[in-house]
Structures are given as structure tokens and as C-alpha cells.
Amino acid sequence: MLFLLAWEIAALLANLPQLFPTPVDVLSALYALLIAPGPAGLPWAGELWGNTLISLWRVLVGFAIAAVSGILLGVAIGWWRNARDLLEPIIELLRPIPPLAWIPLAMLWFGLGFTPAVFLIWLGAFFPILLNTVLGMESTPKKLVEVAKTLGASSGQILFKVCVPFAAPSIMAGLRIGIGIGWMCLVAAELTGSNSGLGYMIMYYYSTMEAAKTVAGMLMIGIVGFLMFTALKKMEDNLLFWRVQS
């Protein structure tokens, strides 16, 4: 409440609505965006929800691909030394390249719209998931593996009943970080080569100098990001209930 009050007073004092809208302006913009027709294909959803749904769909697809590829590859690297020796240099070479630096190539390879955005989200989410999976696998105590071996467990049993469960908390942390980075990449991806989604909506209203609607779009990004993070945290607590109990 205090924050909103301080914002309102600061914006009123600045008296620059085209640059610094008040919270009341932003709320009224949110309402206008809710009742405006939605983007192509989703006119019924309204502009705000329509673009949010488009962005969410992109991020879910990109994130799902990143989760599957990151976990599989992470488990492989953590389990097989040869895989680690082979892939680690390539990963360490590609990992420092910011996903945004891939935008021109993404447009060249995949054109405009959905696919390059999904590619960028995958790039953003993939590395944290991969590295956390590898970290989780590698930190499995040797004693646990030896005990399993002594009890006659097969390699597959050791992998899926000892190492992967031990790595699960680390994998979940990677998924949480990954979805956050993926969401941020999505917004950046929609600023280039896109004509829908929350990132595009922000750019559109920035261009037409409607600062309140721009901030309303940013607010929506924050809210959705927060909800996704919270949902994943809840899912983590449920899936890893044994960790919570211990």
C-alpha cells in the first residue's frame, strides 16, 4: 500500500504521464486492455488475456522441451564419464552466450513468430536445468551407490532408484530457475520478429507512447512470472514430499 501511495505521489509530482504514469492510470489501462479485442485468433480473450495466453503457450512449449532435453542430457552427463568428457566443452562454450545474442540466428533459422520464440525460451531454460541436473547427479554420495551395489542393485536400479531421486531437489531448483529465465527470454523474443504476446504488446504501446498500457503489460509479466514460480514451488513441495518431511 505504501509503495503504491509513494508511486502515486511521485508520479503526480513528476507530472509526466507520457513517461511516468500513476498507479490509477495503470489500473485504468489494465481495464482498457481487458475489454479491448484480443490478438488474431483470440479476439474473445481480450487484448491482455489473449496476449498472456499466447506468451504462456510459447513459454510452456519452450520450457517443456528444455525440461526434457536438459534433464535427459544432465542425467547422461552425470552418469557416463564419456558423455561428460564429450559434451562438457561444447556446453561450456555455448552456455555463456546470452540467449538474446541468438535472436538474429533464431530469426534466420526459424523465421518469425512462434518457433524462434520457443527456441529462445528453450535456450534460456535449458542450461540451468542441465547444470542443476548434472550437479544433482554428481553429488550423489558414493556410499549410497556402493550400498545399492552391495545389495545387488543393477545399474538401471542404481540410476533410477538412487541417483535420480537424489538429484531430484537439484533438478527441481534447475526447473524453477529455468522457467524464470525462459519467461524473461520470451519477453525479449517477442520484441523481435513477433506480432503477438505480452512482449509485443509492451513494444506496441511503448511505440504509441501509451506509458500506462506499457506499464500494465509489464505488471502482467510480473504477475504471471510470480504465479508460475509459485506453482512450480508448490509442485516441488508435493513431488519431493519426503524431502520436506525429512
| Shortest Å, Cβ 226 to another protein | 26
Euclidean distance between CA atoms 224 and 230, whole angstroms: 10
**Within 10 A of 56 (CB to CB), how many other CB atoms are there?**
18
Position among 111, 141, 234, 239 found at the interface with another protein (CB under 8 A): 111
Position among 59, 201, 203, 221 found at the interface with another protein (CB under 8 A): 203
Residue position matching grid coordinates 552391495: 150
Residue 217 interacts with another protein (CB under 8 A): yes or no: no
Confirm if 60 and 197 have CB atoms less than 8 A apart: no
**Residue 127 or 200 having the CB closest to another protein:** 200
**Residue 150 or 207 having the CB closest to another protein:** 207
Binding mask 11-30 for another protein (x = CB under 8 A): -----xxxx-----------
Euclidean distance between CA atoms 246 and 234, whole angstroms: 17
Euclidean distance between CA atoms 86 and 115, whole angstroms: 29
Q: How close are the terminal C-alpha atoms of the chain, in Å?
A: 38
Q: Which grid coordinates are listed for 99? A: 540467449
Task: Considering only the stretches 58-66, 88-96, 158-166, 184-192, report the one whose residues sit in contact with another protein under the rule CB under 8 A.
Answer: 184-192
Using CB under 8 A as the binding criterion, the count of chain residues that bind another protein stands at: 23
| Shortest Å, Cβ 191 to another protein | 6
Confirm if 179 and 59 have CB atoms less than 8 A apart: yes
**Residue 210 or 236 having the CB closest to another protein:** 210
**Within 10 A of 235 (CB to CB), how many other CB atoms are there?**
13
Write out the residues near another protein by the rule CB under 8 A.
Answer: 16-19, 40, 107-108, 111-112, 190-195, 200, 203-204, 206-210
